[in-house]
Structure 1
Amino acid sequence: MKYGIAVFPEKKVQDIANSYRKRYDPHYSLIPPHITLKQAFEMDDDQLSRAIVHLDQVAQQTSPFEARFTKVSTFHPTNNVIFLSIADPAPFKSLHEKINQGCLQHEESYDFIPHLTIGQSLSDDELHDVYGSLRMSTFDLSTRVDCFHLLYQLENGSWTIYQSFLLNQDQVQE
């Protein structure tokens, strides 16, 4: 079965992201706006229980943190993706590194750059038009990150939560 690990921002951030995703993201109906912590990977039932123990340990070692989105960026020319960039990616990178160890360590196709996708699979012309207008916009959005989710993909391609992992509220901020 295909799994992934992500953070869902607060509703106010999701609403703004969805206002763009409706038009520019063909995956709009498959998953809510999210920050991917671990890209999609295959895992069988035997590995699942070990993964859950590992993710629970990661959550207990991690303090909640704030994420701010301040501008729009793109991965062009590597990928025709437009996203809200995260002002301080360090807490996401730390969480990603902790998750991508032990039983969940996999080779990754790209360097990990935490972001919130608002458009993808765009033609070059469309990407340049959309990005050209959005990069002039300023964003001042924030969300509290106090949990992450192990997701699995359904047969229709949509994603749903398998289990949520609450970050350690008592952990001192790193």
Structure 2
Amino acid sequence: MRYGIAIFPSKLLQDKINSYRKRYDPHYALIPPHITIKDPFEADEAELKEIISYIERVAAEAEPVKIDITKVSSFYPVNNVIYLKVEENSALSALHDQLYSGPLEHEQPYNFVPHLTLGQKFSDEEHSDVLERLKMLDIRHSETIDRFQLLYQLENGSWTVYETFRLKGGSRD
């Protein structure tokens, strides 16, 4: 089965992002707004037990992560994805690095660029127009995240939460 690990921001921020994703992201219905902490990977039942045990240890030792969104940016010219830039910080980088270690170790397809996707799969012309429009928004936002999720992919391509892991000191609600 195919799995991934992500951080979901607050509902308030998700609603704001979804107001753009509905229009600009064809993957809008497949997964809520998120920060990918570990790219998709394959695992079977036996591997999953070891992976979950490892993730539990990582979560128990990791501090809650502060995210600061500072601007709209793009991965152009690599691909036409427009996103909210999440400033990288030591807690976020450490969490990412730990989730590429131990039983989760494998080559990373991209450098870690924490972000929340606003839109993707644009033509070059459309990308340029939408990016310039969205760059005019005041999108500064900060919040502290106290959990992350192990997700799995369904047959229709959508992602759903398999398990939630609370970071050390995270709330228990």
User: What range is the shorter-chain TM-score in?
Assistant: over 0.9
Residue of structure 2 equivalent to 1:130: 130
Equivalenced residues, count: 170
SS of residue matched to 1:3: strand
Tell me the SS of whatever aligns to 1:131. helix
Between 1:138-147 and 1:40-49, the stretch displaced more is 138-147
Whether contact under 8 Å (1:13, 1:142) holds in the other structure is no
By how many angstroms is 1:122 displaced?
Answer: 1.1
- Per the alignment, do residues 154 and 109 of structure 1 end up closer, same or farther by CA in structure 2, a change over 3 Å counting? same
Please list every run of 5 or more consecutive structure 1 residues that lacks an aligned counterpart in the other structure.
none
> In the alignment, what sits opposite 1:58?
58
Q: CA deviation at 1:66?
A: 1.8
Aligned-partner Cα distance in 1 for 2:120–2:106: 24
* Contact in 2 for aligned 1:13/1:143 (Cα 8 Å): no
Distance 1:83 1:67 in 2: 14
Which residue identity is paired with 1:19?
Answer: S
Between the aligned residues of both structures, percent identity stands at: 51
- The runs of at least 4 aligned residues of structure 1 exceeding 6 Å deviation read none
Q: Is residue 48 of structure 1 aligned with residue 52 of structure 2?
A: no
Deviations 1:62-96 (CA, angstroms, capped at 9, x unpaired): 01132121210000001110000013443221110
TM-score by length of 1: 0.94
> Matches of 1:146 and 1:134 in 2, distance apart?
29
The 8 Å contact of residues 147 and 165 in structure 1, kept in 2 or not, is answered as yes
Pair 1:75-2:81 in alignment:
no
Structure 2 unaligned spans of 5+: none
